[in-house]
Structure 1
Amino acid sequence: MGCDAVRIRSSLFGCSLYVLLCSLLSGVVSVPPAEAQDLRVMSFNVRYGTASDGADSWPQRQDLVVQVIRDYGPDLLGTQELLPFQAEYLQQQLRSGAQRPLKYVYIGWSRDASAGGEQCGLFVSEDRFEVEQSGQFWLSERPEEKFSKSWDSSLPRVCTWARLHDRQDSGRRLLFANTHFDHRGGEARLQSARLLRSRLPELAEGLPIVLTGDFNCGEQSPPWQAAAGDGLLVDSFRAAFPQQQGSEGTFHGFRGTAGAERIDWILYSAGRFQTVAATIDRTERGGRYPSDHFPVTAVLRYAAAVAQ
């Protein structure tokens, strides 16, 4: 079992501290203790539960998915490829934990006309946040038209969002959004990124944004440039790891091998948060993985000068 490297960039003391942590028993990445008001964010493509994956099918890995989420304990969890029955299972299992129950409000709607279709679901900590408003739009030239698709997209794609009030600090609010770009259409990915950059600030109405997703493309691709290239949205992983490495890949097809393409991102509004830590979680159990994607995480700290 390999070791997972965690680099921690600390703004609190005005210096950078890099720490290497290894877990030889479980492979779970440890994260430094967060301050009370830090946000723990996770983006997780869980692989849809009806896929014919044999030994990696949902019933064989559902408990490991729960364990990975429980071990990290995100305040905000953005999921991709989630089917309604998977969402219900995760919510129930996380809530029923005897030692550490995690209570989430779930927000999500199918991307297509099927009642059981894939969702870009949000799990929002009930203890941490009050949901003020939520919704979903389609990544198309007609974003308000349900099930619409445009450009060269192979499937309808969506962005699910919620405006949240932070119970731990009554003066702070934010917009949490989650998406999944098309896996085939390059033009669709580019136009989806541009749509998010125009649409999310409108929905945020001046609030800071946290965006999670499976973007199906790597850093420096045209969609990444459209989303984060101008610095208005910060890539949390790159903020923690300034030097790009050759083993940052997040899709592994249940094989556990990390390529170079980091296609799962956590982005946030520049100047509104600081990256405390970022990880790619490579947890495995007996050579089996919770999904065909590695989940990614970030600990974000509100920028001291910002008070919403």
Structure 2
Amino acid sequence: MLKIMTFNIRGASHADGPNAWPLRSALNVQTIQEIDPAVIGFQEVEAGNLAVYQQQLPGYACECGPSASAEEPHQYTAIFWKPELVRRLSAGGFWLSETPDVLSASWETACIRTATWVHFQMLGSGVELIHLNTHLDHVSAHARLAGSALIIQQLQQITHDYALPVLVTGDFNCDPASPPHRLWLQHDFSDSYLATGHKDNPQTNTFHAFNWYKPSSSGKTRGDSILRMDWILVRDPAQKIRPLTCEIVHTARPPLYPSDHFPVVAQLTGL
């Protein structure tokens, strides 16, 4: 069994008033500690976030991956894990662009975007897997689709043509009815939230912008979409690994929130 979390934590450099990082960092850490995941895919990790985690989450190791900026504040799609549960065998990362080996952007993306991956081995069972963590663009639909296609292509090389199970976490900045979501499903990934019996509605949104963004009276949201944009995707050629549970974690102390996204956590069996 493996408990995995995806969490867009909102970079520490943002001026968020009552939800500025120094004010919400304790609640953010508490949320992670209460869930107690073995592996975490974080989005928007900056130096201020990382400093708090290194001090208050000492039981985790970290792979930051490539920076999404050439200057401060650097931002990472970092992967954290508990070394007593999983072993890092190798790791890497790339930029979501037409030149993924160098810091760059393509497809009219509003920001430089990255992906980080770690090749893990479960210490109990010996099962090996790839965990890839990413953050797709929030403006360009072209970039979200092209970035997803690039990640799927890169994973073929990383997993030696699908030989290893793959877990993908991230803020995909689009809803489950979008072309990127369909592309992932077409390439044999399952959406853990849907695979465990959930259905989408306006209450399943994972992006809430510190609770100022609410569904309209018609039940629709931004762009007439459901904002469940934080996903845990699973693909296992042997069909042994599958999500057993998947939940959106609504921890909050209004007006204080751990982040402008709710984290998502899944329990995976077969590991």
Return the TM-score normalized by structure 2: 0.90
Of the candidates 160, 166, 171, which is equivalent to residue 116 of structure 2?
160
Residue 243 of structure 2 corresponds to which residue in structure 1?
275
Query: How many Å separate the matches in 2 of 1:204 and 1:75?
Result: 21
Residue 139 of structure 2 corresponds to which residue in structure 1?
184
Q: Residue type matched to 2:208 in 1?
A: H
* Alpha carbons 1:180, 1:213 under 8 Å: kept: yes
Q: Which moved further from structure 2: 206-215 or 280-289?
A: 280-289
Alignment pair present for 1:208 and 2:171: no
Q: CA deviation at 1:111?
A: 1.5
Query: How many Å separate the matches in 1 of 2:51 and 2:13?
Result: 15
Q: Which moved further from structure 2: 78-87 or 50-59?
A: 78-87
Q: CA deviation at 1:115?
A: 5.4
How do residues 2-13 of structure 1 correspond to structure 2 at under 5 angstroms?
none
1:124-148 CA-to-partner distances (Å, cap 9, x unmatched) read: 1111111111111010111111x21
- List, as ranges, runs of 4+ consecutive aligned residues in structure 1 with deviation greater than 4 Å: 256-259
Q: CA deviation at 1:241?
A: 2.5
Of the candidates 202, 217, 220, which is equivalent to residue 246 of structure 1?
202
How do residues 1-308 of structure 1 correspond to structure 2 at under 5 angstroms?
38-95=1-58, 103-108=59-64, 109-114=66-71, 116-145=73-102, 147-170=103-126, 172-205=127-160, 206-228=163-185, 230=186, 232-255=188-211, 257=214, 260-270=226-236, 271-302=239-270
Query: How many Å separate the matches in 2 of 1:71 and 1:182?
Result: 30
Q: CA deviation at 1:55?
A: 0.5
Query: How many Å separate the matches in 2 of 1:88 and 1:302?
Result: 34
* Alpha carbons 1:161, 1:175 under 8 Å: kept: yes
* Alpha carbons 1:42, 1:296 under 8 Å: kept: yes
Q: How many residues in Structure 1 have an aligned counterpart in Structure 2?
A: 256
Distance change in 2, residues 1:55/1:243 (3 Å): closer
Q: CA deviation at 1:274?
A: 1.5
Query: How many Å separate the matches in 1 of 2:207 and 2:11?
Result: 14
Q: CA deviation at 1:165?
A: 1.4
Q: Residue type matched to 1:135 in 2?
A: G
Q: CA deviation at 1:242?
A: 4.5
Query: How many Å separate the matches in 2 of 1:261 and 1:118?
Result: 23
Distance change in 2, residues 1:231/1:237 (3 Å): farther
* Alpha carbons 1:110, 1:116 under 8 Å: kept: no
Unaligned runs of 5+ in 1: 1-37, 96-102, 304-308
Q: CA deviation at 1:247?
A: 1.4
* Alpha carbons 2:13, 2:73 under 8 Å: kept: no
Query: How many Å separate the matches in 2 of 1:55 and 1:160?
Result: 31
CA RMSD, 1 decimal: 1.6
Q: CA deviation at 1:231?
A: 5.7
Q: Residue type matched to 1:66 in 2?
A: V
Return the TM-score normalized by structure 1: 0.79
Query: How many Å separate the matches in 2 of 1:231 and 1:149?
Result: 24
Aligned to 2:202, what secondary structure does the other structure show?
coil
Query: How many Å separate the matches in 2 of 1:286 and 1:217?
Result: 26
